[in-house]
Amino acid sequence: MLFKQQAWLRQKLLVLGSLAVGSLLYLVARVGSLDRLQPICPIEGRLGGGRSQAEFPLRALQFKRGLLHEFRKGNASKEQVRLHDLVQQLPKAIIIGVRKGGTRALLEMLNLHPAVVKASQEIHFFDNDENYGKGIEWYRKKMPFSYPQQITIEKSPAYFITEEVPERIYKMNSSIKLLIIVREPTTRAISDYTQVLEGKERKNKTYYKFEKLAIDPNTCEVNTKYKAVRTSIYTKHLERWLKYFPIEQFHVVDGDRLITEPLPELQLVEKFLNLPPRISQYNLYFNATRGFYCLRFNIIFNKCLAGSKGRIHPEVDPSVITKLRKFFHPFNQKFYQITGRTLNWP
């Protein structure tokens, strides 16, 4: 009898224990996503389509993301898309560059915002003549499905340095918002070199050392014909863009800070895009193994960027680094002056 009572008691305790653990897990999940459940922030009028702001709370957009995801995986029917008013919209903002500045990290991090939907692939519409020749409808069809009140963002870093692009983008939308993410120019050039080097190594090809490419052996001066160097002269490229767009339509993101302290950088972008602040520290966690911040969408889904982001750079002769930094210095000063954003580059 006593044995039976003890077994019954044990069973009861087990049930109560499971209930307690379940409740605790639920609470953790709720607290984890608390900032996503804050009182609803209406999207600013600028983002709005025909409907009133109140009809489209961000929370609803966040919730509906699940359907967008299913659609992208091919699991949602055309009927569902129609019923939910999903559309393919031209981008309201473009990350135009700079290559190796952190363009992928910026796009993925902005995509944490419930009112933002990213185009996953680099579309290369404006820099590639063949693509451009296919027309604007081709471009629109490359955009992800979104709700009319969301904004679509794409990134193609080649846009920043390609001659024809500013005029072409201007013709599509003269009031578009343009994001440029930059890193200290010498570091960016080495990162650029590292990417090309990796490609060559994969194909078993030999390649020159960075020093040999960046410094002209005849003059011992910086080799301005080397593309990785040219791309880092940010002000030269920006000046071409300014023939079409006023400086107010650009926002400079500090790519070095996005690595170490992403949240404040993202908050500045939210402001520039007139989005209510919704990306929080909860969405970004430092992953010591990767050595970078990774993304947390919710209690279940998180991700780090691919291994091709955050490569180990080769050692570069310090005298070459010094020479390059000296070379970039006046261009950097001009860039700060034009953009109104001073970055602490040497």
Q: Is 101 annotated as a binding residue?
A: yes
Alpha-carbon distance of 25 to 33, in angstroms, equals: 12
Among the listed ranges 19-27, 43-51, 129-137, 302-310, the one in contact with ligand A3P (CB under 6 A) is 302-310
Judged by beta carbon, residue 71 or residue 102, the one nearer ligand A3P is 102
- Residue 172 binding ligand A3P, by CB under 6 A: no
Residues 126 to 165 in contact with ligand A3P, rule: CB under 6 A: 157
Side-chain-facing half-sphere of 252: CA atoms under 13 Å: 19
DSSP state of 308: T
Cβ 293 to ligand A3P shortest distance, Å: 4
Element (H, E) at 185: helix 185-202
- Residue 292 binding ligand A3P, by CB under 6 A: yes
- Coil, helix or strand at residue 107: helix
The count of chain residues that interact with ligand A3P, using the rule CB under 6 A, is 17
Polymer length of the chain: 346
Q: Which of 101, 242, 126 is nearest to 182 (CA)?
A: 101
Candidates 62, 89, 103, 162: give the one binding ligand A3P (CB under 6 A). Answer: 103
Q: Which residue has the tokens 């040497």?
A: 346
- Residue 310 binding ligand A3P, by CB under 6 A: yes
How far, in Å, are 25, 228, 229, 326 from residue 222 at the CA level? Answer: 59, 11, 8, 10
Is 92 among the catalytic positions?
A: no
- Residue 100 binding ligand A3P, by CB under 6 A: yes
Cβ 73 to ligand A3P shortest distance, Å: 24
Count CB-CB contacts under 10 A for residue 310: 15
Q: Is 191 annotated as a binding residue?
A: yes
- Residue 105 binding ligand A3P, by CB under 6 A: yes
Report which residue type is found at 313: H
Report which residue type is found at 146: S
Q: Which residue ranges are tagged as binding site?
A: 100-104, 183, 191, 293, 309-313
Chain residues in the site for ligand A3P (CB under 6 A): 99-105, 157, 191, 258-259, 292-293, 305, 309-311
What residues are annotated to the active site? 100
Q: Which residue ranges are tagged as binding site for 3'-phosphoadenylyl sulfate?
A: 100-104, 183, 191, 293, 309-313
